[in-house]
Chain A
Amino acid sequence: MIALPSVNWAVVAPPVVLGAAGLLVMLVDLVSRRALRGWLYLIGIAGCFASFATMLRIAGVSQTTLSGAFATDRFSWMFDALLIFTLAVSLALSALKKAEDGGSPASYAALLVFCTVGGMVMAGATNLIGIFLGIEQLSLALYVLAGTGYPRESSKEAALKYVLLGSLASGFLIYGSALLYGATGSISLADMGAAAASPSPLFVTGLALFFVGIAFKLALSPFHIWTPDVYEGSPIAITAYMAVAVKAATFAVLARFVYTVFAHDSIALVPLWAIAILSMVVGNVGAMRQRNLKRLLAYSSIAQSGYIVVALAGVSTGGLSTMIFYVAAYAFMNLGAFALIALVGDGDEAYADLGAYRGLFFRRPWVAALLALFFMSLAGIPITAGFMGKLYLIFTGLRAGPWGIAMAAALIAGTLVSFYVYFKVIWEMLVREEPEAVGATGNHWIPWIAAVAGAAGTLFLGIAPYAFYALLAYL
């Protein structure tokens, strides 16, 4: 008889409660004959609140459970909170999905919830098995969700591309994990410090493969090829979820890995810095040519991933809080932007084209003004979260030696290019012409709430970052 490890239920409660909500969604769909779609999303959102309620009990607690395989601490707490927020927004935006867009609402809502359970496992995982389980749970559900716009060819293409390339990345990840285990004799990240201090070839190979897998999930260049097509093809609520939640959860894994395994900056991390710089270049330059806002935000997310890596530069003490700050900023500005694209499109994916936004400032000033705010934040204009986040990143980079300085320089150069990218959208919104694609008259209240919440977060982090740090210190 194998002795089961004892479980501290308070620590695992958030993902467990959320998972239960996912099951409840499926159960309700099963028993109710004519399931009202909206109710299923609402159950999911209620699950978000319930899960968050259990998180309140462990705020500020730093504990591990399941024989040290799963942890809760400030770091995972912040990421869990962001994941839940993203889930709630994505579920709400999903309610705009047109009925003819395919996919049963129940499986759709449940999968989205299960994705997030995977993300929370990732944020708390402290060994290689936990990391892999979390990533697979998140990814498998998302492969399906990418295809839920399936009457559109592009959605099928997105699902297929995502599943093929995603499986390849998972292969890299598990193979890398195996080699890391081989090199260190342990699956626990905490036991790998010694091996990292004097890395063997086996360890370096495993590390490289592991990073390839992670870089794929983060859409870091040169592993970003799937991103624009998958972002464009997926339904808008799923694109928003992918852009924010997948990145947040994967950055949680990357940060925990780097901070647990490497006590100091290491030569073994140089490839990570290099692909961060490459991502900033590829993302910003690639975004210049895009005329579809979902594709534009896909390239933008490649560049933003590159920026976030700068937080890890030099494995410095302030790095983790800098990362949390930027990921939060990233979440607010992206969710806000995607919510407005959903609002303008009103469930029709064709309106992500820039043509539909021509003259928006004079037709729908508030929509245009909020969208401009989110794009300015992405560009890093002051009094927005994006500016403060970049400021913190630049300082973190500059204090971290030559590679950190190189990354900070690339961040600044990329920012100039991104001025063109984001202001081009604003510029189009200011033209005094009738739109090319007439329509775009959506005015549903749900995306409005999401956009206003995103704007509040963006401005709050941009104007009063000290309050955010006070919160971080309190936890």
Chain B
Amino acid sequence: MLIEAVIFLPLAAAVLLLAIPKAAAAALKGVALVATLATFGLSLSFVGGAAAGVSDVHPWIGGAVTALYHVRIDAWSVFFVLLTTFVSVPAVWAAFSYGDGARLRGYLILLLAFEWTLLGLFTAGDLLLFYVYWDLMLVPVFLLLAGYADTPQARRAAWGYLLYNGAGGLILLLGVVGVVVGSHTFEVLGHSYAVSIVAERWLFVAFALAFLIKTPVFPFHAWMPATYTYAPPPVVAMVSAIQSKAGLYGLIVFALPLFPHAAAWAAPTLLALAVISIIYGALTALGQSDAKTLVAFSSLSHLGLVILALFSFAKIAVPASVVMIVGHGVIVAALFLLLGFVEERTGTRELAAFGGLAAVAPRLAAFMLIAAMAALGLPGLASFSGEFLIFIGAWQTQPVYTAIALIAVVLASIYMLKLFQGVMHGALREPRPSKDDRLIELKPRELALVAPLVAAMFFIGLWPAWINVRSPASTPAAAAQRVEGRP
């Protein structure tokens, strides 16, 4: 029952918001924030028992297709659930300053619905439920981009987002149906799927394509720059921090265990794509003048590392990936929210168009500095732990690819410093963003909502073991993979 509470609390809050009049802004905000906080609180209770796992199963559909309603939170999913509930709090809170008030209700409802679909995805215990949420999460993001970003670019970006991810979803559906036609069940969690090697490869390709589009990984990232750049900050924080992990989660939980032989067969291609993503993302980030686009490409680069880890079949691939995933989620959410505050104050995202904010907004500058340092991999902060584990692990099996990927660490320092200096250092541009310099500093609400993210960066950076000892180290299927994946 507690699992259902975690999954459906955001949805229940969204429905409750429908009953509150639009004018009652305080009540709307209160319900939304309390709901996300409560969801986070409930999800924390699963950390202790994650090793054993909790699940809930009911009969669901019959007829020509039979499936169970199966949800679970276990070692595989607990940190994805935590990341979702944790990042949703500041995202929903940041949305409070949105727009004219009349549309705040719809905005909050869609954000809460988005949280619900993400939680549903990470707790799905069978392929059908996983697919249902996989497709469903397109809807709130499409609606938010098309209706709540208020720029023509965002409205166009909605199409790129929908059609790319929709195509990925339908490819995944082919794969899911292919598995179920052969195995006669959606309950494939923790099993490998014994079919002919050719069929296994095709099915793996279907799953992997969908997951790579969602993450995204080069060359399937065409939808990403526009979505990340033009989506409102709370939306892009949730998309980049949480939704981008859906594909990686799918690889870890479904694709790799189900198709170990095909994964080994595809590993060279995926490693190459991972390294291209890492380097291409970093180089492209260097050339960006738009702050959000810069962070978008840095995200492409960082998530490429996770693909590198997973397909190096290193012994610590999964725990290292989970540490990296959680770290990246926290950092990228903070960066996008902070850049949102900056854009709110200056009206621009162009790095050339502002500067010197550190002089008038020291707290904003301090948070920005920590987030940027975390993103470039400074030891003691979140990204470092994940990157370090990944490099150590992947080095043992794939030294060449790992060596190339290491270049990205240098590049990350350059673009992140460029971002920070562009925004914070130098002379304050004229005309000043605000007549009163004090208005540029973070407001208490903004400070309070980013602070936990910053705290989490230190926490993960200093105590990554909190995560990786609880992550599953290996499964029978993963072991088979490692043997075959060895060159």
Contact = CB atoms under 8 A, between A and B. Distances in A.
A274 interface: no
Nearest to B129: A382
A465 B62 contact: yes
Interface in A361-394: 361-362, 365, 376, 381-383, 387-388, 391-392, 394
Interface residues of B, number: 37
Interface stretch (B130-138, B296-304, B328-336): B130-138
A151 to B, nearest CB: 37
Interface residue SS majority, chain B? helix
A275 interface: no
A169 B215 CA distance: 52
B19 interface: no
A391 B163 contact: no
Contacts of B150: 432
Contact of B133 (A382, A412, A465): A382
Contacts of A322: 63-64
B37 interface: no
Interface string B80-122: 0000000000000000000000110010000000000000000
Given A381-B139, A427-B146, A469 B62 contact: yes
Interface string B442-457: 0000000000000000
A469 B147 contact: no
A137 interface: no
Interface stretch (B1-9, B170-178, B251-259, B277-285): B170-178
A398 B177 contact: yes
Interface in B14-41: none
B142 interface: yes
Interface in B151-202: 155, 158-159, 162-163, 166-167, 170, 173-174, 177-178, 180-181
Contacts of A419: 162-163, 166
Given A381-B135, A419-B162, A430-B143, A469 B155 contact: no
A437 interface: no
B65 interface: yes
A465 B146 contact: no
B139 A361 contact: no
Given A382-B131, A419-B163, A427-B155, A469 B63 contact: yes
Given A394-B177, A395-B177, A416-B167, A423 B142 contact: yes
B173 A394 contact: yes
A382 B147 contact: no
Given A420-B163, A427-B155, A391 B170 contact: no
Nearest to A473: B62
Given A318-B64, A382-B133, A430-B146, A416 B181 contact: no
A426 B61 contact: no
A466 B136 contact: no
B60 A383 contact: no
A381 B117 CA distance: 13
Nearest to A412: B170
Residue among A412, A413, A427 having the largest count of chain B Cβ atoms under 10 Å: A427
A452 to B, nearest CB: 15
Interface residue SS majority, chain A? helix
B65 to A, nearest CB: 5
Given A381-B139, A382-B131, A469-B62, A427 B166 contact: no
Interface string A427-457: 1001110000000000000000000000000
A227 interface: no
A241 interface: no
A376 B170 contact: no
Contacts of A408: 177
B102 to A, nearest CB: 8
Given A361-B147, A423-B142, A395 B135 contact: no
A301 to B, nearest CB: 21
Contacts of B64: 318-319, 321-322, 392, 395-396
A399 B158 contact: no
A325 interface: yes
A177 interface: no
B146 A426 contact: yes
B63 A325 contact: yes
Residue among B61, B159, B177 having the largest count of chain A Cβ atoms under 10 Å: B61
A123 B256 CA distance: 49
Nearest to B137: A382
Interface in B57-76: 59-65
B181 A398 contact: yes
B132 A383 contact: yes
Interface residues of A, number: 40
Contacts of B162: 419, 423
B371 to A, nearest CB: 32
Given A383-B136, A426-B143, A465-B62, A395 B170 contact: no
A383 B129 CA distance: 10
Residue among B62, B138, B162, B180 having the largest count of chain A Cβ atoms under 10 Å: B62
A299 to B, nearest CB: 19
Interface in A316-368: 318-319, 321-322, 325, 361-362, 365
Residue among A322, A391, A470 having the largest count of chain B Cβ atoms under 10 Å: A391
Contacts of A465: 61-63
A47 B109 CA distance: 43
B123 to A, nearest CB: 15
A318 B63 contact: yes
A412 B136 contact: no
A470 B63 CA distance: 9
Contact of B60 (A394, A415, A423, A466): A466
A29 B367 CA distance: 79
A466 B147 contact: no
B61 A388 contact: yes
Interface in B378-403: none
Contacts of A382: 131-133, 135-136
Contacts of A432: 147, 150
A412 B178 CA distance: 13
B170 A415 contact: yes
B166 A362 contact: no
Contacts of B159: 420, 427
A431 B155 contact: yes
Nearest to A431: B155
Contacts of B142: 423, 426
Given A318-B63, A469-B63, A416 B146 contact: no
A376 B173 CA distance: 17
A412 B131 CA distance: 14
A125 B158 CA distance: 49
Contacts of B128: 391
Nearest to B106: A365
Nearest to A427: B146
Residue among A383, A387, A423 having the largest count of chain B Cβ atoms under 10 Å: A423
A431 B177 CA distance: 36
Interface of B: 59-65, 102-103, 106, 128, 131-133, 135-136, 138-139, 142-143, 146-147, 150, 155, 158-159, 162-163, 166-167, 170, 173-174, 177-178, 180-181
Given A392-B65, A427-B146, A469-B62, 20 more contacts: A322-B64, A362-B103, A381-B136, A382-B131, A383-B136, A394-B173, A395-B64, A399-B181, A408-B177, A412-B170, A415-B170, A419-B166, A420-B163, A426-B142, A427-B155, A430-B143, A430-B147, A432-B150, A466-B61, A469-B63
Interface of A: 318-319, 321-322, 325, 361-362, 365, 376, 381-383, 387-388, 391-392, 394-396, 398-399, 408-409, 412-413, 415-416, 419-420, 423, 426-427, 430-432, 465-466, 469-470, 472
Which 5 A-B pairs have CB atoms at the shortest separation, nearest pair first? A430-B147, A318-B64, A382-B132, A430-B146, A469-B63
26 contacts: A319-B64, A321-B64, A325-B63, A381-B139, A382-B133, A387-B132, A388-B61, A394-B177, A395-B177, A395-B180, A398-B177, A408-B177, A412-B174, A416-B163, A416-B166, A419-B163, A419-B166, A420-B159, A423-B142, A427-B158, A430-B147, A432-B150, A465-B63, A466-B60, A469-B61, A469-B62
